[in-house]
């Protein structure tokens, strides 16, 4: 059985994961509007991945005899200064998600909740990959600068994600 404190914390994380999906979908719309279909595709895949993460937490709470209580999502930003600003926002967001997962892990340690620690170990490893990939994308876009040819080249590279 999951503790009430852990259940509430994971319910908040479910909200965070669904917000991440919503954020990435909004970023996909921005990239589509700015004729960067590779980046839009990358964001759509990220959206799907974040929904999967939310559902992993959702199912875990149920498996442990808890109750999922969905919470309202904030509206994500719709406009950004530039494509580089979007990628920088992705990096910052992934760092925030990592911090949130770490707090959950600390709570699981404090409560000696070994099952939740095991679940969260997977997420901690996943966040290392998420931050690495986001940083790489941001740096590649930064290297392209505002040169249209380079931007299109890098954007085309992003269509290879998940292939």
Q: 3-state SS of the chain?
A: CCCHHHHHHHHHHHHHHHHHHHHHHHHHHHHHHCCCHHHHHHHHHHHHHHHHHHHHHHHHHHHCCCCCCCCCCCCCCCCCCCHHHHHHHHHHHHHHHHHHHHHHHHHHHHCCCHHHHHHHHHHHHHHHHHHHHHHHHHHHHHHHCCCHHHHHHHHHHHCCCCC
Residue 54 lies in a domain: yes
What's the mean pLDDT in 82-93?
A: 95
pLDDT > 90: percent of the chain: 82
Residue 50 lies in a domain: yes
What's the mean pLDDT in 103-108?
A: 98
CA torsion, ordered 15, 20, 21, 22, to nearest 10 deg: 90
- pLDDT for position 147: 75
Question: Which candidate, 104, 85, 91, places its Cα nearest to that of 46?
Answer: 91
Q: Where in the sequence is the domain holding 127, given as residue range(s)?
A: 4-157
Residue the block writes with tokens 């904030």: 74
pLDDT in tens, 19-43: 999 999 999 999 999 999 999 999 9
Residue 97 above 80 pLDDT? yes
9: Cα separation from own chain's centroid: 17
Residue 162 lies in a domain: no
Residue 76 above 60 pLDDT? yes
Residue 105 above 80 pLDDT? yes
- pLDDT for position 25: 98
3-state secondary structure of 70: coil
What global pTM score does this model have?
0.92
pLDDT > 70: percent of the chain: 95
Q: Is the C-alpha dihedral spanning 138, 139, 142, 147 positive or negative?
A: negative
- pLDDT for position 64: 98
Domain count, the chain: 1
Residue 141 above 90 pLDDT? no
- pLDDT for position 163: 38
Domain CATH code at residue 149: 1.20.1260.10
Residue 119 lies in a domain: yes
């Amino acid at each position: 059985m999951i503790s009430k404190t852990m259940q509430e914390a994971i319910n908040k994380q479910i909200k965070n994961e669904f917000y991440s999906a919503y954020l990435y979908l909004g970023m996909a719309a921005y990239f589509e509007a700015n004729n960067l279909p590779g980046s839009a595709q990358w964001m759509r895949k990220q959206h799907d991945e974040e929904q999967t993460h939310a559902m992993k937490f959702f199912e875990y709470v149920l498996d442990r005899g808890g109750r999922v209580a969905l919470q309202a999502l904030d509206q994500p930003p719709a406009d950004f200064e530039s494509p580089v600003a979007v990628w920088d926002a992705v990096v910052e967001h992934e760092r925030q998600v990592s911090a949130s997962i770490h707090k959950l892990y600390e709570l699981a340690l404090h409560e000696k909740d070994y099952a939740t620690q095991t679940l969260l170990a997977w997420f901690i490893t996943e966040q290392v990959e998420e931050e690495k990939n986001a940083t790489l994308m941001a740096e590649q876009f930064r290297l392209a600068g505002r040169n249209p040819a380079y931007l299109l080249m890098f954007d085309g590279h992003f269509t290879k994600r998940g292939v």
